[in-house]
């Protein structure tokens, strides 16, 4: 069950901090990460993939611990650098397998160099992009189409 797989991550105080960071418009980083993780888990299970690693890696894919909307809160361009920062933070607080690391590190392909190494990593990469678009359209859709 999804909740049992991710409860140690969701309940971790550092992960709870990401509720305070805005991701897209009104969506906080934790809500976005849970959205990506739940959908990725369901799809991985349906397609016979490693749903445990998918759920855990997807939940940590944006574990970068800063609000990227605030100038000087981070180094470099967020889109190009946050996956590396998320992986560094995730490794600091959790034991990760190679698949979970790849999911976190490669979820921003093609902005980050290096193709994902696993089909599960591709799945999370596409689900992240899908969820981000859904979140943006929910936030801005009425303004775009009115």
Q: What fold, for 2-144?
A: Hypothetical protein af1432 (1.10.3210)
pLDDT tens across the length of the chain (146 residues): 999 999 999 999 999 999 987 766 678 989 999 999 999 999 999 999 999 999 999 999 999 866 654 566 556 544 446 788 899 999 999 999 999 999 999 977 776 777 899 999 999 999 999 998 888 877 655 554 44
CB proximity list for 28: less than 8 A, separation 6 or greater: 18, 19, 20, 21, 22
- pLDDT at site 81: 66
> Where do the structural domains in the chain lie, given as residue ranges?
2-144
Separation between Cα atoms, residue 49 and residue 46, nearest integer Å: 8
């Amino acid at each position: 069950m999804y909740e049992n797989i991710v409860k140690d991550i969701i309940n971790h105080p550092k992960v709870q901090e990401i509720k305070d960071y805005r991701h897209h418009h009104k969506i906080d980083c934790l809500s976005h990460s849970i959205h990506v993780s739940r959908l990725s888990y369901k799809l991985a299970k349906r397609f016979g993939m490693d749903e445990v690693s998918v759920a855990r890696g997807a939940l940590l894919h944006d574990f970068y611990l800063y609000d990227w909307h605030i100038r000087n809160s981070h180094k470099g361009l967020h889109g190009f650098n946050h996956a590396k920062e998320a992986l560094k933070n995730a490794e600091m607080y959790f034991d990760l397998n190679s698949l979970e690391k790849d999911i976190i590190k490669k979820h921003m392909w093609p902005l980050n160099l290096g193709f994902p190494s696993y089909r599960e990593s591709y799945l999370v990469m596409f689900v992240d992009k899908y969820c981000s678009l859904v979140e943006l359209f929910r936030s801005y859709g009425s303004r775009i189409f009115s």
